């Protein structure tokens, strides 16, 4: 299965996936990385791993649609089967979603449907909930609303700082995402597609 990773920032999840593929824990090939932010640290990780990277902000495209069509052209050239969003801070439009139905997944740092949006960890922390976690889901046109594939719960200790909560959430992400991707890769390799 050919994978594309989409990221906008640090890329610690991208790194966890790169490491899992290298260790033979995911039966797939990372064909490319798509990044919308030329200053993102994930670009260094991609270089270090020797992965082809496409960097384009929608602001540097004539339109959102043109930006999406450029990305689709790039993905097609790399024969991508599954798109993995890992800290990608843009909403995908109809073009990408229609080209890759049920072939785009995302990771979110809360137990969806609780705390969707950009600050899932901080929102859960500020709400004072006793439990949060990580969700992996298919991407649809909404914000963090697509069908849930997997979730892992985390009990929040009352003495934890926000930073401690963040560290615990990221630790779960880095082990859960590679496992779910491997599950999808296995299904894809058995059936020739990850579409149920
Ligand atoms: C992660 O917490 C992910 O769940 C969210 O954005 C963050 C990205 O972190 N969507 P990183 O860039 O993978 O380090």
Measured from the Cα of 134, ligand 1's closest atom is 4
Strand partners, 6: 34, 85
Distance CA 96, CA 93 (A): 6
Average pLDDT of the segment spanning 170-174: 98
11 CA distance to ligand 1 middle (Å): 7
Mean pLDDT over each residue of the chain, to the nearest integer: 96
Q: How far apart, in whole angstroms, are the C-alpha atoms of residue 115 and residue 132?
A: 9
- Of ligand 1's listed atoms, the one at least distance from the Cα of 86 is 13
User: How does strand 131-138 pair with strand 148-155?
Assistant: antiparallel
Residue 22 pLDDT greater than 60, yes or no: yes
pLDDT at 196 over 70: no
Helix axes 42-49, 12-22, angle to 10 degrees: 20
The stretch 29-44 carries a mean pLDDT of 98
Q: How confident is the model at residue 121 (pLDDT cuts 50, 70, 90)?
A: very high
Give me the pLDDT at residue 41, please: 98
Catalytic residue set: 108
What ranges do the domains of the chain cover?
Answer: 2-195
> How sure is the predictor about 169, in pLDDT bands with cuts at 50, 70 and 90?
very high
Domain 2-195 belongs to what architecture? 3-Layer(aba) Sandwich (3.40)
Q: Which of 21-30, 59-68, 101-110, 186-195 has the lowest mean pLDDT?
A: 186-195
Q: Is the pLDDT of residue 194 over 80?
A: no
- The pLDDT value given to residue 191: 86
Residue 116 CB less than 6 A away from ligand 1: no
Q: Is the pLDDT of residue 100 over 80?
A: yes
Q: Is 11 in the pocket of ligand 1 (CB under 6 A)?
A: yes
Tell me the per-residue pLDDT of 42-94, one tens digit each, with 9 for 90 and over: 999 999 999 999 999 999 999 999 999 999 999 999 999 999 999 999 999 99
The predicted structure's pLDDT at residue 155: 98
* Model confidence band, residue 177 (pLDDT cutoffs 50, 70, 90): very high
Going by pLDDT thresholds of 50, 70 and 90, the confidence category of residue 193 is low
pTM over 0.85: yes
For residue 113, is the peptide bond before it cis, meaning its omega torsion is within 30 degrees of 0?
Answer: yes
165 C-alpha vs ligand 1 centroid, how far in Å?
Answer: 14
pLDDT band at residue 192 using 50, 70 and 90 as cut-offs = low
CA distance 14 to 5: 7
**What is the SS3 string spanning the chain?**
CEEEEEECCCCHHHHHHHHHHHCCCCCCEEEEEEECCCCCCHHHHHHHHCCCEEECCHHHCCCHHHHHHHHHHHHHHCCCCEEEECCCCCCCCHHHHHHCCCCEEEEECCCCCCCCCCCHHHHHHHHCCCEEEEEEEECCCCCCCCCEEEEEEEECCCCCCHHHHHHHHHHHHHHHHHHHHHHHHHHHHHHCCCCC
């Amino acid at each position: 299965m050919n994978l594309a990773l989409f990221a906008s920032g640090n890329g610690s999840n991208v790194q966890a996936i790169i490491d899992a593929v290298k260790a033979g824990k995911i039966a797939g090939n990372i064909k490319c990385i798509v990044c919308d932010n030329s200053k993102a640290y994930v670009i260094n990780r991609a270089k270090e791993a020797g992965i082809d990277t496409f960097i384009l902000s929608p602001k540097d495209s004539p339109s959102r649609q043109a930006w999406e069509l450029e990305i689709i052209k790039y993905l097609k050239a790399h024969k991508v089967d599954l798109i993995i969003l890992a800290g990608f801070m843009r909403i995908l439009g109809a073009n990408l979603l229609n080209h890759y139905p049920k072939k785009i997944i995302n990771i979110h740092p809360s137990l969806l449907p609780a705390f969707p949006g950009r600050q899932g960890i901080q929102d859960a922390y500020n709400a004072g909930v006793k439990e949060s976690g990580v969700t992996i889901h298919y991407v649809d046109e909404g914000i963090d609303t697509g069908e849930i594939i997997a979730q892992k719960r985390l009990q929040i200790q009352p003495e934890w700082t926000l930073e401690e909560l963040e560290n615990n959430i990221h630790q779960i992400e880095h082990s859960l995402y590679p496992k779910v991707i491997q599950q999808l890769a296995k299904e894809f390799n058995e059936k020739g597609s990850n579409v149920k």
